[in-house]
Amino acid sequence: MVVVALGSLVLEWAWISYDRVDTIPFSQFEQLVAAGRVAEVTVESDTIQGKVKDKLSSGNSFFMTARVDPALAEKLIAKGVVVRGVPSGGLSQTILLWGLPALMFYLVWNFMSRRLDGGQSLGGFMAIGKSRAKVYVEKDIKVTFVDVAGVDEAKFELQEVVSFLKAPKSYGRLGAHVPKGILLVGPPGTGKTLLARAVAGEAGVAFFSISGSEFVEMFVGVGAARVRDLFEQARKAAPCIIFIDELDALGRNRTPGAFGGYDEKEQTLNQLLAELDGFDPRVGVILLAATNRPEILDPALLRAGRFDRQVLVDRPDKNGRVAILKVHIRKIRVSKGVDLDRIASLTTGFTGADIANLINEAAIAATRRNADEVGFDDFTVAIERIVAGIEKKSRVLSKEERRRVAYHEMGHALVAASLPGVDPVQKVSIIPRGVGALGYTMQRPTEDRFLLSASELRNRIAVLMGGRTSERLIYDGDVSTGAADDLQRATEIAVEMVTKYGMDTKVGQRTYAPRPQAFLPAMQDTLVGAAEATGREIDLAVRELIEAGDVCARQILEKRRADLEAGVALLIAQESLTAEQFAPLRSPGAAVGNQAAA
Ligand code: ADP
Ligand code: MG
Ligand code: ZN
């Protein structure tokens, strides 16, 4: 405001002093008129300026503040004075005196309100309900599947979407089911955003993208309006892709927020759910979303008919990293001897983004030593730098740890492959994944199971124990903490067998439910209806079941020691193994059940 006042003061002064004008009192003006010295006057709403025929003290112009009434005007005309009237003030003067300060005021106000709330509120309340959606539409995306490497499984799943988008009409003709929403799940930097854009690029359709975090608005209703707008725009542009990045920011499990953010997020989420429900993919719009935290998503989003298909975009294994290196290495000049295989084996745990960064860093290192080409040593220098950074955020296993994890996972896998009634092994991996798991063994559930027999449950316990048993066998009894999750899940199964399904002969065929809502944590283990002696029997029965699983696993692994060693060697070299790649992992028995062991 100070600026504004100053501005108009200065301007007024400038205008007055222009042309050396004498400011005179009205009385002097009357005298001048009476003496016939006035040549002309210009009358404005409450000022008069004019010229005299001869000279005043500083020039021949004068100025005064006065209103001109009709009587004065007549008197002036009678004296032969030229009278000019400027109606409603001079245009230039009005602009100078009012327009400029007003403009400055507007700018200052605008700036301040932007500073106050990140630029949202002004537009927000000036256009309530009208979306200012930052929807990014890209028409000619050049990215294709060639640019995304090392995530073949995800690419394979998305290939279907591409062929649908290329010909939405003929696709439905055969009654093929088109997924409504596909959720890309994986750690940051694995290429989820890249994949989504590549789908659009492959299919040659428009790509509407918006980030979940942008929906978090101050004003209630704006987020919901944006969602509506997004779907409306997309429907008009079909066939196309809608991509919601960082879905977790928007679709977080609905719990009241600290500052009443609850209502707004909930409204936005509800609008999204409504759009999803009324959404017919046959018009040629495919919804993709990405998240690295699927576990915090509102379950309503994952229900059938919404984001009902999830595609895992995992950290690449060694072959995947070689493929990603090949994609990005095109951008730099490398010397002939650089062995991508060796670089890949030095970069366990790197994501696609880490590898892109690595190539950049290596090029910088080469530039710094004034080399013409990027050499292997540049890569090792860069790897060391990046690993130091990554080690802080995620874990990179030491060589010895990797060996142990390999034995552990191969233990699970071989036990699973040896027992009937257990899901066949799909993949074994020693790539750290998620927060807790250092490796994983994935089993493919072949069919939905509604009934499980006691022997199938026992086999599941044996599979879960297989990891630790393998460690014990190899490390001479010196087990690690890596089996905590396995033990917990084995215990859960055993407890249910004894207390819920009546599968232990000594404890008998009755149920013992955990006491609901115990106040003291120590009380939570107490079972309703179990006498102290029975409680002890239950404990013993559970322990026996787990020990039996351990013995079973041990017998298998001792018998298949050669397979174990061969599998571990391959796993360490390759980091992940499918059943196709390692024959001993193929199951002998019928495939049933549903479980995965970490
Ligand atoms: P996310 O969305 O999963 O966090 P991005 O798609 O944003 O990861 O990846 C960031 C960058 O890292 C990409 O632009 C690309 O350069 C590189 N990148 C990530 N994953 C891959 C991959 N699988 N193949 C090639 N480049 C990748
Ligand atoms: Mg992303
Ligand atoms: Zn395990």
- Choice among 14-23, 52-61, 454-463 with the minimum mean pLDDT: 14-23
| Mean pLDDT of the 44-69 span | 79
Q: Which amino acid is at 395?
A: R
Residue 161 falls inside a structural domain: yes
Pick from 142, 185, 194, 243 the residue to mutate for probing ligand 1's pocket: most ligand atoms within 8 Å of its CB.
194
Do 499 and 566 lie in one domain? The reply is yes
Q: How far apart are CA 192 and CA 314, in angstroms?
A: 9
- Spacing, Cα 484 to ligand 3 middle (Å): 8
With respect to residue 496, please indicate whether it lies within any of the assigned structural domains. Answer: yes
* CATH for 583: 1.20.58.760
Same domain, 359 and 329: yes
CATH of the domain at 237: 3.40.50.300
393 part of a folded domain: no
Check whether residue 410 and residue 426 sit in a common domain: yes
Condensed to tens digits (0 to 9), the pLDDT of residues 246-270 reads 888 877 765 554 444 456 667 778 8
Question: Which residues line ligand 1 at a C-beta cut-off of 6 Å?
Answer: 148-151, 188-194, 290, 324, 327, 352-353, 356
* CA dist list (Å): 426 to 347, 388, 439: 24, 33, 14
The answer to whether residues 405 and 504 belong to one domain is yes
Ligand 2 centroid to residue 449 C-alpha, Å = 36
Instruction: Write the Ramachandran bin of 305: left for phi over 0, alpha for psi from -120 to 50, otherwise beta.
Output: left
- Nearest CA, atom 21, ligand 1: 352
301 and 251 both lie in a single domain: yes
Same domain membership, residue 541 and residue 416 = yes
Atom 18 of ligand 1: nearest residue by CA position = 352
The enclosing domain of 345 has a CATH number of 1.10.8.60
State pLDDT tens for residues 411-468: 999 999 999 878 888 788 887 754 456 777 776 655 555 688 999 999 999 999 999 9
Q: Active site residue: 217, 264, 275, 409, which one?
A: 409
Final residue in a domain of this structure, among 63, 88, 113: 88
pLDDT for 437: 63
Distance 230 CA to ligand 2 centre (A): 19
**Strand spans (E) along 250-407:** 285-291, 309-312
Give the pair of three-digit tokens for residue 51.
Answer: 């010229």
Helix (H/G/I), strand (E/B), else coil: 24: coil
Nearest CA to ligand 1 atom 11: 353
Does the pLDDT value for residue 226 go beyond 50?
A: yes
Q: What is d(CA 378, CA 361) in angstroms, rounded to the nearest whole number?
A: 8
Ligand 1 centre to CA of 154 (Å) is 13
Instruction: Tell me the average pLDDT across 232-252.
Output: 85
Q: How many Cβ atoms sit within 10 Å of the Cβ of residue 453?
A: 11
CA–CA distance, 43 with 67 (Å, rounded to integer): 8
What is the tally of structural domains in the chain? 5
Given the CA of residue 147, which atom of ligand 1 is nearest to it? 25
Number of the ligand 1 atom closest to the C-alpha atom of 197: 6
For residue 394, tell me if it sits in a domain: no
Q: Report how far Cα 28 is from the mean position of its chain's Cα atoms.
A: 78
Q: Is residue 27 part of a domain?
A: yes
12 is catalytic: no
For residues 366 and 409, state if they share a domain: no
Residue nearest to atom 1 of ligand 1 (CA): 189
Q: pLDDT-based confidence at 23, cuts 50/70/90?
A: confident
Domain assignment present for residue 350? The answer is yes
Peptide bond into 188 cis (omega under 30): no
Residue nearest atom 6 of ligand 1, based on CA coordinates? 191
Whether the Cβ atoms of residue 241 and residue 288 lie closer than 8 Å to each other: yes
* Highest mean pLDDT: which range of 7-16, 337-346, 558-567: 558-567
Indicate which atom in ligand 1 lies nearest the CA of residue 290. Answer: 2
pLDDT band, very low/low/confident/very high, at 275 (cuts 50, 70, 90): confident
| Size of the chain in residues | 598
Helix axes 532-559, 561-574, angle to 10 degrees: 80
Mean pLDDT of 462-488: 93
Residues 157 and 73 in one domain: no
Same domain flag for 485 and 415: yes
Closest atom of ligand 1 to CA, residue 323: 24
Distance from residue 353's CA to the centre of ligand 2 (Å) = 10
Q: What is the extent of the structural domain holding 111?
A: 92-127
Side-chain half-sphere of 569: how many Cα atoms within 13 Å?
5
Residue 110 has pLDDT above 70, yes or no: no
The residue among 312, 334, 358 that closes a domain is 312
Query: Cα–Cα distances in Å, from 166 out to 145, 243, 285?
Result: 15, 17, 11
Query: Do residues 333 and 190 both lie within one domain?
Result: no
Instruction: Note whether 83 and 122 are same-domain residues.
Output: no
79 falls in which pLDDT band (50, 70, 90)?
confident
Q: pLDDT per residue over 543-564, tens digit each?
A: 999 999 999 999 999 999 999 9
Separation of 528 CA from ligand 1 center, angstroms?
A: 53
Q: Among 387, 421, 441, where does a domain finish?
A: 387
Asked if 454 contacts 510 with a C-beta cutoff of 8 angstroms, the reply is no
Three-state SS for 429-476 is ECCCECCCECCEEEECCCCCCCCCCHHHHHHHHHHHHHHHHHHHHHCC
Same domain, 308 and 322: no
| Domain-located, residue 41 | yes
Single-letter residue type at 577 = L
Atom number, ligand 1, closest to the C-alpha of residue 316: 23
Is residue 392 included in any domain, yes or no?
no
Asked if 227 and 278 touch (Cβ cutoff 8 Å), the reply is no
Tokens of 438: 């250092």
Global pTM reads 0.55
Residue 315 CA to residue 543 CA, distance in Å, equals 37
